[in-house]
Structure formats: structure tokens, C-alpha cells
Amino acid sequence: MRRARPLLGTIVEIEVDGVAQADAERAIARAFEAVSLVQRLMSFHDASSDISRINRAAFRRPVAVHPWTARVLHHAAAFHAASDGLFDCAVGFELMRRQLLPSNDLDHVCKGDFSAVRLSEDRSVRLTAPVAIDLGGIAKGYAVDRAIASLRAAGVRCATVNAGGDLRVMGEIDQPIHVHVPGGGLLQAGFLRNGAIATSSAIATVGRSGALDSPGSTADRRAYSVVAPSCIVADALTKILVQSGEPQHPCFARFGATAFISGGDLQSVAA
């Protein structure tokens, strides 16, 4: 059974197998509820989300957040440290400056990096500088993982969750996977079992030096993909791959991932 809904700024598809229809319907509905919760908690566009509350007030006082938000922020801190700052969720200022994100109630925000984020054991967040956090480079992967966890808890043992190219499969059957190369269609990228893959492009990535490519540019039409045990890891590490251009970057082995670049005349892979 396959179902799809518009969530996370894309189309989220959930497919399950080996389960009775009524059970599959219930399991898929709960999985979509998990994805919806991630969206409500971590959306930059939702004024009531944890991220919006952090961006508005955490420079002045600690802001308590949901356990899922705290978990994603802890992951973001680990990726930031492991990549020497290449992965950085404190890019809200740059995205607002480029009018890619709304700037309502955020006139106080200035340029900075994720080192300004302080996470407490009581799940409160404080900012030591008035930066703006955007979890667009990691929350989608986490939402996919939460959907898989929800399906597993419902007794599903074979499933696929795909959120606009952030994909995770569960089960003992190899699933064919494809990578969308900007301007080049779909590329067969092998098979995946009990793992995740995410793909990014230079056009869609903003790093510590700003956007790496601009809409309409033909400078880089390659796809940057990472295969990892979880989708949050795959999603985050694609941003490191785009910025470093190195499938052998030590971050990938550290997090049990494999990276490859597709498109043009280049097919570069590292295990």
C-alpha cells in the first residue's frame, strides 16, 4: 500500500508491504502524524514552531523545546563539530538576506554560526549571539526516520519512506534506488536494504560562505548523494559533500556513510 501527502515542502510518500490493508492504513496514518509533528516543531515558516521561538527569543532567555527538536539540535551540533563548521544550521540570516526565508520579527538577527547555540540537559536552548537557526538541511531526514520508527512500532517490517529524495527503506529485500541529477533526469544508483539515501545539489545548499550556486546557473549540475544507516545522517552529510566536494571526507566514515557524486562526466564514490 502506498500513500502520499504534501509535507515538509515536498511530497512525502510512504509504502508498506506484508501487512493487512486495515493495519497498513492505520500504520501509514500514524507515520504521517510523526512527519507532521516534525514539520510543526521545526518549520522556519510557522511562527509557533520551536525553531521560530528560538530565533525570536533564545538570545534573551532560554527557550524550552520538544524532545525531538532537542535531539535534532544535538545532531546538528555533532555534524557542525565533525565537519569543522561546514554543516551549519545557523544560516537563517543568509537565507533571509536572499529572501529565501521570511524575516518577520527577526530584525535583530545577524550573521553567525552554530557555535552560538547552547543546549541544556533540560531541553532548553540559548543563543549567545542573535543568529537564526534553519533546520531545512536536517529536519526532513529526521522526519523520515520518525516515520520509519512509527511504522516499525506498528508492526510493519517492510516499508519505504521518501520525502523528496530523502529516502529510507526497511526490510530484508534490496530496493532499487535512483538519484535525480539536476537537468539530467534519473540515474540508477544501485540497491539499498535497511538504510537511507539523501541527495542534494549546489543550487539547494547554503554553506558558511553563502549559496554555492545560484538558480539558473549551469556551473554545477551534479547530484551529491550520501548513503547512511539513518536518513538524518544522510541528509546532513550531503551538505558536507556539496561544500567539500570530497567523497573521502572523514565525516562519512565517522558516521558510517558512503558518499558519491553523479552527473556530467563525474561519478566519484567513496566507501
What tens digit of pLDDT does each residue of 218-238 get? 567 789 999 999 999 999 999
- Please choose, from the candidates 193, 230, 226, the residue with its C-alpha nearest in 3D space to the C-alpha of residue 71: 230
* DSSP state string for 111-158: ---GGGEEE-TTSEEEESS------TTTHHHHHHHHHHHHHHHTT--E
Q: Quick one: CA torsion of 260, 211, 164, 81, rounded to 10 degrees?
A: 60
The angle at the Cα of 250, spanning 248 to 253, to the nearest 5 degrees, equals 85
Going along the chain, which residue ranges are E strands? Answer: 2-7, 10-17, 63-64, 117-119, 124-127, 158-163, 166-170, 175-181, 185-192, 195-200, 206-207, 210-211, 223-228, 258-263, 266-270
CA–CA gap between residue 83 and residue 259 (Å, rounded): 14
Cell 549571539 sits on residue: 129
Please provide residue 4's backbone torsions phi and psi, each rounded to the nearest 5 degrees. Answer: -140, 145
265 pLDDT more than 70: no
CA–CA gap between residue 188 and residue 215 (Å, rounded): 25
What tens digit of pLDDT does each residue of 98-143 get? 888 988 788 899 999 999 999 999 999 999 999 999 999 999 999 9
Please provide residue 113's backbone torsions phi and psi, each rounded to the nearest 5 degrees. Answer: -140, 180
What tens digit of pLDDT does each residue of 172-197 get? 889 888 888 877 778 888 899 999 99
- 204 versus 84: which is more confidently predicted? 84
Q: Lay out the sheet containing 63-64: strands in order across.
A: 63-64, 124-127, 117-119
